[in-house]
């Protein structure tokens, strides 16, 4: 069933709580209807999931399409794994609980990440030592320009740290469903050291990992219906090993992690905190860096996208001035 609304408020469709309007807002739970909408669309299309990884910096969007495709099904299995196909309109955390209830392992570390399944490949969601790319087998899409179906293998998705082909080609594809390869046996991923210490001794199961992740997330992250935010606003910057060594000798407490391509990843939260932003607000008092996790920018009420962006730009500038490192936003600017 398709619903088309004109001059539609997007306020309740973004976790930042920013006011913006869609000239046309289309919701459909039917692939053919979505395909017809895309075929006849003569304007840039914003595909909107749960709105938990974007910032509306412009007051209006010409055409917003919200795929409400539902369904989770088993599409294959071998002795060790199952293939699970989930439609893009499913809530991500519902898929996580669905898989844990059936003893399919691989998603438990990604518990409680807001948003829908369709967005999980876009920024290759990650948390607590796991990333969506660890379990994604393939992605099915509609090409926005002509409405044709186009499948993507995992390699073709070109996943990187909070990055993918889809993030680099925003507005070109609508993700219809994602197929995951999950393990029939529980394979604990305790790469994130803080997770191990949260687990009850000798009782490591998918359910206890989920409980620990949920507990940590609730302690650390603001509840977006109460305090508007889009999770981590910035990516952790990657620098060369020479730059990392030079910074480490000047700032011995600097946390360093190894990253792909021989680079070193720095903690954006640490850099931001060292520049004095933790708990700070803008002049108007409506935007700030969260006091328990400064990587998260929050809307304390009534902030515009531009005010959030201006605050973020000040943070980027001060980190660059102090450390010579330029941070990039993780959140999509719309
Ligand atoms: C409190 C909080 C905590 C968070 N924690 C994490 C975390 O731990 N790890 C993490 O990785 N992220 C985290 N996020 C960010 C966010 O939840 C994820 O990026 C999530 O996958 C976004 O899903 P969404 O459906 O809300 O996407 P949206 O915000 O609606 O869209 C994000 C981008 O994906 C595109 N998109 C969405 N759906 C589709 C589709 N079907 N087809 C094509 N393109 C699409 C949009 O056009 C947009 O560019 C957090 C956010 C919040 C608010």
pLDDT tens, per residue, the chain with 334 residues: 999 999 999 999 999 999 999 999 999 999 999 999 998 888 899 999 999 999 999 999 999 999 999 999 999 999 999 999 999 999 999 999 999 999 999 999 999 999 999 999 999 999 999 999 999 999 999 999 999 999 999 999 999 999 999 999 999 999 999 999 999 999 899 999 889 888 877 779 999 999 999 999 999 999 999 999 999 999 999 999 999 999 999 999 999 999 988 999 999 999 999 999 999 999 999 999 999 999 999 999 999 999 999 999 999 999 999 999 999 999 999 9
Is residue 46 in contact with ligand 1, taking CB distance under 6 Å?
yes
Closest ligand 1 atom to residue 141 Cα is: 42
- Kindly report the backbone phi and psi dihedral angles of residue 248, in degrees, each rounded to the nearest multiple of 5, phi listed first: -65, -35
Is the C-beta atom of 121 inside 6 A of ligand 1?
A: no
Task: Work out which ligand 1 atom sits closest to the CA atom of 332.
Answer: 49
* Residue 3 three-state SS: strand
Is there a catalytic annotation at residue 58? no
> Fold for domain 267-333?
3.90.78
Q: Which fold has domain 2-67?
A: 3.30.43
The pTM assigned to this predicted structure is 0.96
Q: Is 51's C-beta closer than 6 angstroms to any atom of ligand 1?
A: yes
- The Cα 76–Cα 84 span in angstroms is 7
Active site residue 292: no
Domain boundaries, the chain: 2-67, 72-220, 267-333
* Residue 85 main-chain phi, psi, to 5 deg: -105, 125
Q: Is residue 232 annotated as a catalytic residue, yes or no?
A: yes
72-220: CATH architecture: 2-Layer Sandwich (3.30)
Q: Which of 90, 108, 307, 330 is catalytic?
A: 330
Query: Closest ligand 1 atom to the C-alpha of 14?
Result: 29
Whether 31 is in the pocket of ligand 1, judged by its Cβ within 6 Å, is: no
Letter string b/e over residues 318-333, b meaning 16 or more CB atoms within 10 A of that residue's CB: bbeeebebebebbbbe
- Using CA atoms, how far apart are residues 150 and 282, in angstroms rounded to an integer? 44
């Amino acid at each position: 069933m398709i619903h088309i609304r004109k001059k539609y408020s997007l306020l309740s469709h973004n976790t930042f709580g920013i006011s913006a309007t869609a000239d046309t807002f289309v919701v459909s739970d039917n692939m053919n209807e979505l395909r017809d909408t895309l075929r006849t669309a003569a304007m840039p299309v914003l595909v909107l999931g749960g709105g938990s990884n974007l910032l509306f910096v412009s007051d209006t969007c010409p055409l917003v399409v919200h795929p409400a495709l539902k369904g989770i099904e088993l599409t294959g299995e071998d002795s060790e794994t199952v293939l699970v196909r989930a439609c893009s309109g499913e809530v991500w955390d519902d898929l996580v609980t669905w898989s844990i209830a059936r003893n399919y392992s691989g998603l438990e570390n990604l518990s409680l990440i807001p948003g829908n399944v369709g967005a999980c490949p876009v920024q290759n969601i990650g948390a607590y030592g796991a990333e969506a790319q660890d379990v994604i087998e393939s992605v099915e899409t509609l090409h926005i320009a002509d409405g044709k179906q186009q499948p993507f293998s995992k390699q073709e998705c070109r996943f990187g740290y909070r990055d993918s082909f889809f993030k680099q080609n925003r507005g070109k594809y609508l993700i219809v469903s994602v197929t995951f390869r999950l393990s029939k046996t529980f394979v604990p991923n305790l790469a994130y050291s803080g997770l191990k210490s949260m687990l009850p001794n000798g009782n490591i199961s998918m359910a206890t990992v989920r409980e620990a992740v949920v507990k940590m997330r609730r302690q650390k992250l603001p509840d977006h219906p109460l305090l508007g935010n889009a999770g981590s606003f910035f990516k952790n910057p990657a620098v060369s090993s020479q730059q990392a060594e030079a910074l480490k000798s000047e700032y011995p407490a600097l946390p360093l992690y190894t990253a792909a391509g021989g680079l070193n990843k720095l903690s954006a939260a640490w850099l931001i905190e060292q520049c004095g932003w933790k708990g700070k607000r803008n002049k108007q008092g409506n935007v700030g860096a969260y006091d328990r996790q400064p990587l998260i920018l929050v809307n304390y009420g009534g902030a515009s996208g531009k005010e959030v962006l201006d605050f973020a730009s000040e943070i980027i500038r001060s980190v660059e001035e102090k450390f010579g490192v330029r941070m990039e936003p993780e959140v999509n600017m719309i």
